[in-house]
Amino acid sequence: SVFKKLFVDTQILMEEAKNILVLEFGSEHKGYFSILEAIASGKAVPAHIADYTAMPQGTVAKYLNELVHKYEIVKKEEPVISGGSRNSRYFLQDNFFNFWFKFIYKYYGTFEIDPDLAESIVKKDLNTYFGYAFEDVAKEILIKLNKQQKLPFRFTGIGKWWKKETEIDLIAFDKMSRNALFCEVKWKHLSEREASGIIEDLKEKARKVDGAWKQDYCLIAKKIDGKEKLDFLAFDLVDIRKECAL
């Protein structure tokens, strides 16, 4: 398989990424690597990163600051509506590094000892990675549809939103008109019923967003059955290929 060729037989990407980063970070590379693995594994706030890496919070803060400002491998984001820096989360800038730290670095020893086992572990968890990467695609799709004026309104801002345990994949909005499009992104094949259920949950979450917004809802998924019967915007890979000629 292509997977085997890249990661096991030739080890191109395994070694290449590691060598580049070791050169970049120098003698402290292990500390940086631990933090990047934590972020790739979904730890997005300093306290959780410190727990995951067993590093002191002060050390984590120093490394994070350098990864954001000096190396620009990590981005620090606030919720797109009424965020505030106390609410910040950390994400990897690049999907390749996200993949590499989530799978290759994390299971490096397993790849060397038992490549087949490592491959099966990675394949099991691959959908979560695709889900993460698909959010970037969904954002680009909405920006493209916005330019083509194919959405209910023209938005001027777009991004992730969260508050405590509640998360919304994307909100596209215009502060002047107070229009907001709340969007969930799923790397899944959804039935009509599942799609409707996701939007019902999204409506609940949207109530927690500060301010009064005229609300529209959107679902972007791998495949959605019965799209034409749904009373909200629904796009899947068929539409993405057609609408955006991707």
**Residue 70 belongs to a domain with what CATH number?**
1.10.10.10
Of the listed ranges 11-15, 97-101, 192-196, the one predicted with least confidence: 11-15
Query: 44 — alpha (psi -120 to 50), left (phi > 0) or beta?
Result: alpha
Residues 150 and 217 both lie in one domain: yes
- 70-98, pLDDT tens digit by residue? 999 999 999 999 866 678 999 999 888 88
Q: Strand 214-224 to strand 233-235: parallel, antiparallel, or no bridges (unpaired)?
A: parallel
Residues 76 and 176 both lie in one domain: no
CB atoms inside a 10 Å sphere around CB 238 = 12
- 113-168, pLDDT tens digit by residue? 998 898 888 888 888 888 888 999 999 999 999 999 999 999 999 999 999 889 99
CB atoms inside a 10 Å sphere around CB 178 = 13
- Has residue 128 been placed in a domain? no
Question: Cα(38)–Cα(41) distance, rounded to whole angstroms?
Answer: 5
Whether the pLDDT of residue 246 is over 60: the answer is no
Res. 20 pLDDT band, cuts 50 70 90: confident
Residue with tokens 């094949």: 189
CA–CA–CA angle 168, 238, 169 (5° rounding): 5
Average pLDDT, integer, range 46-65: 96
Residues 102 and 147 both lie in one domain: no
Domain region containing 145: 137-244
Cβ-proximal residues to 66 (8 Å cutoff; 6+ apart), any chain: 32
Number of domains comprising the chain: 2
Whether the pLDDT of residue 2 is over 80: the answer is no
Residue with tokens 């889900």: 131
Residues 101 and 9 both lie in one domain: yes
- Has residue 119 been placed in a domain? no
Beta bridge partners of residue 90, listed in sequence order: 76
Element (H, E) at 37: helix 29-40
Q: Is the CB of residue 28 less than 8 Å from the CB of residue 71?
A: no
Query: What is this structure's pTM?
Result: 0.86
- 199-240, pLDDT tens digit by residue? 999 999 999 999 899 999 999 999 999 998 999 999 999 988
- 3-14, pLDDT tens digit by residue? 666 565 556 667
- 29-55, pLDDT tens digit by residue? 999 999 999 999 999 999 999 999 999
CB atoms inside a 10 Å sphere around CB 8 = 16
- Has residue 8 been placed in a domain? yes
Whether the pLDDT of residue 107 is over 90: the answer is no
User: What is the residue type of 46?
Assistant: P
**Residue 188 belongs to a domain with what CATH number?**
3.40.1350
Cβ-proximal residues to 22 (8 Å cutoff; 6+ apart), any chain: 29
Q: Is the CB of residue 186 less than 8 Å from the CB of residue 128?
A: no
